[in-house]
Structure 1
Amino acid sequence: MFELFSYGDAGWGDEILQGLAITVQLAIATLPVGLCIGFLAAFASMSRARPLRFLGFGYTTIMRGLPEILTLFVVYNGAGLLINAALRWWAPEASPIDFSPFAAGVVALGMVFGAFAAEVLRGAFQSLDRGQVEAGRAIGMTGRQIFLRIQLPQVWRFALPGLGNLWINMLKDTALVSVIALDDLMRMTKVAVGVTKQPFTFYLLACLIYWAMCVLSELVLAQMERRANRGIRRA
């Protein structure tokens, strides 16, 4: 059995590791995209302008109600058509652009992550004491200084547990990109199963790898939470 996981033509060890690398790269690339979308949607939903509030709440409501795999299909098939249609209108002589599965995975998972993160961040912002903001204005701090020095550190502390859960869910959702032919861990596992006819062995290995990544993430998140809550007295 161990020969199945060796390197080279005789085993699948190198293919599995390559798929793992793609999975980790996809998750790391999606995180900042999702956080940016989450902050923008949270700010929009808390805006005093009614159109922005409608846009923010509408985005989070729609995206949280759609299955992740459906969002992935729509982005992968629709975004490429939209980009090429705009390119043909702008430069008819230009050659079509191939929208890669990796980019589609980052965009789709980032949109889903951002919708859920927006609600976490909105709740964190609403948990802040408004008196601190008024105190910052009273001593002459600008809006940017208030956000960076007063609001953001506390929002980070309040939102970190929820964002950590979203990260773990997103890490597992990366397995969905295998359906659009991205050679991630799940797709390489399926290929190995199809060739070797050993489904239990390779699917069990994939389960252990995903579990190990989630456990490692939980350990890192626990350390981040301890650091974010340093100096906070527990009741």
Structure 2
Amino acid sequence: MNGATDAELHDRLAIRALVENWAVSRDAGDWDRFATCWHEDGYMCATWCQAPWRDFIAASVAGWEKGVSILHFLGGHSAELAGRRAIAQTKMTISQRAAVHGVMVDVVCTGRFYDFLEKRDGDDGAAGPRSGPAAPHGRARWGVVLRQPIYEKDRMDPVDPAARLALDPALLARFPEGYRHLAYLQTQIGYAVKTDMPGLKGPEVEALYARGARWLAGGAPG
């Protein structure tokens, strides 16, 4: 990377590792390691859950125990750094399997993780989902302050290609184009899905980009 200092390269590697640890730990149900991805005030905003990180873990554990199947796959990555703050964008797919109207289906949603990150000194407390993450004594670490996915497009397919599936068009139309099939599935298994999440285009994603710019300039993530 032209002109990058050793410190910047280290920060970029640490941010990419953080993003990858988030996906691997969550999908594996390794909740203690997953907790180390967050700062104490970290917040997750997903279609099915908008909550502080501890509550998001609790909801994920509850879903895990009920058989909810959500997996993530990561692709290209870009990070914009401003001192000890960063905005990271990582291409991803969310894959969820469940029964919809009696038919087992897979939904695959493509988008980006849009992460508000900060490098802080290790004073957050003991690591773990019950007591908060921390860096080793005397070391600063990057952590998630806010994760807001961007949902770009999705599709739903029966696991059995011979199965017949008919969706309710009125329910499907309630949700934005970028995640309407994912939202349809999540509604069917009992979740209240947020209906104004950012997509590839539109005022929601433009507002998110503006929040990201404010974050890099020293403002709050909200």
Please indicate the TM-score interval, normalised by the length of the shorter structure: under 0.3
- Decide which structure has greater strand share: 2
- Decide which structure has greater helix share: 1
TM-score norm. by structure 1 comes to 0.27
